[in-house]
């Protein structure tokens, strides 16, 4: 993107989880886990998730932006390494000064055609980027809404997601405290306290056993918010994926099929 001396008043200062990792001297995967844990507890808002192409596997990272991002990143660093909190605040102030330091000079803009053309090009690129990002987000939301149906179990929902290893979904959700196994001899999933009425609820059904007593079967089913959270984890490649997965997400697959 072309750089100019124009400082747009709505310019948003950002900081990535990669930079936080370097700042506090922690592994990036530990930083990401801390972010996700705090977000799931409602302590911070889920930041935007992005990826950067590299020579090898793409790097996935979170991006904090604006006042909310500044506040949340400070919370994350305070959790990881309290002694680095002041250093993080200093870094935010440095970034904010870099953004606010460039001043738009209207006289130069009117008398310098090249400068004005660069400003217009930069603005056009930003608009185009936002339009593409908004369209992609809309497609993702619509895809999730088309997949989710009331009464779906987590496994049924994940069967609709290209590449997910549905055989491992139960154990994955058990590790995240969404589910627990009430039986010592077989798999009988129940909704965990952490996820109850937030991500999951339970349906009850009476099972009649020939020659024995009836018993109540409990089936964990997704709430809308639970489906949204699972879909977010899916788009971040955090669900258990098949080794044969082609790297294409469900919404991408649908878009290519309709092209």
**pLDDT tens for each residue of 223-233:** 999 998 998 88
What contacts 74, CB < 8 A, 6 or more positions away? 85, 88, 89, 92
Query: Which residue has 């196994």 as its token pair?
Result: 181
Q: What is the mean pLDDT of residues 147-167?
A: 92
Taking the chain, what is the end-to-end CA distance rounded to the nearest angstrom? 28
Give the residue-averaged pLDDT of 173-188: 90
CB 162 within 8 A of CB 244: no
Return the pLDDT at 3.
37
Q: What is the mean pLDDT of residues 10-39?
A: 86
**Is pLDDT at 157 greater than 90 in this prediction?**
yes
Band of the pLDDT at 237, cuts 50, 70, 90? Answer: confident
* In the predicted structure, residue 52 carries a pLDDT above the cut 50: yes
Q: Is the pLDDT of residue 258 over 50?
A: no
The CA angle 164-170-172, to the nearest 5 degrees, is: 70
- Using CA atoms, how far apart are residues 71 and 152, in angstroms rounded to an integer? 36
* Contacts of 40 by beta carbon, 8 Å cutoff, 6+ apart: none
- What average pLDDT is seen over the chain? 79
98, pLDDT greater than 90: no
Domain definitions of the chain by residue range: 14-104, 111-147, 154-258
Residue 145 vs residue 8, higher pLDDT: 145
Structure tokens at 116: 């004005």
Predicted confidence at residue 256, as pLDDT, reads 47
Task: For residues 244 and 60, give the distance between their C-alpha atoms in angstroms, rounded to a whole number.
Answer: 20
Tokens of 217: 């079967």
**What does the block give as tokens for 41?**
């507890």
Q: Average pLDDT in the 68-88 region?
A: 85
143 contacts 248 by C-beta, under 8 angstroms: no
* Nearest CA-CA partner of 180 in 170, 169, 168, 166: 170
């Amino acid at each position: 993107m072309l750089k100019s001396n124009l400082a747009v008043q709505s310019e948003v200062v950002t900081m990535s989880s990669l930079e936080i990792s370097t700042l506090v001297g922690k592994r990036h995967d530990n930083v990401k886990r801390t972010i996700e844990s705090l977000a799931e507890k409602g302590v911070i808002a889920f930041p935007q998730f992005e990826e950067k192409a590299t020579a090898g596997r793409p790097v996935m990272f979170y991006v904090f932006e604006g006042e909310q991002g500044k506040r949340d990143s400070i919370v994350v660093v305070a959790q990881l390494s309290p002694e680095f909190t002041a250093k993080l605040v200093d870094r935010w102030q440095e970034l904010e000064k870099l953004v606010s330091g460039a001043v738009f000079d209207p006289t130069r803009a009117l008398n310098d055609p090249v400068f004005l053309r660069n400003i217009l090009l930069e603005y056009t690129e930003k608009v185009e980027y936002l339009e593409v990002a908004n369209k992609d987000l809309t497609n993702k939301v619509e895809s999730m809404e088309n997949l989710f149906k009331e009464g779906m179990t987590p496994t049924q929902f994940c069967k609709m997601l290209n590449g997910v290893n549905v055989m491992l979904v139960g154990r994955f959700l058990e590790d995240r405290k969404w589910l627990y196994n009430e039986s010592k001899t077989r798999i009988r999933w129940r909704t965990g306290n952490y996820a109850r009425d937030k991500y999951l609820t339970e349906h009850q059904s009476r099972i009649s056993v020939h020659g024995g007593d009836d018993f109540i079967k409990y089936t964990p089913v997704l709430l809308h918010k639970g489906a949204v959270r699972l879909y977010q984890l899916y788009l971040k490649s955090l669900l258990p994926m098949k080794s044969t997965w082609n790297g294409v997400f469900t919404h991408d697959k649908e878009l290519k099929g309709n092209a």
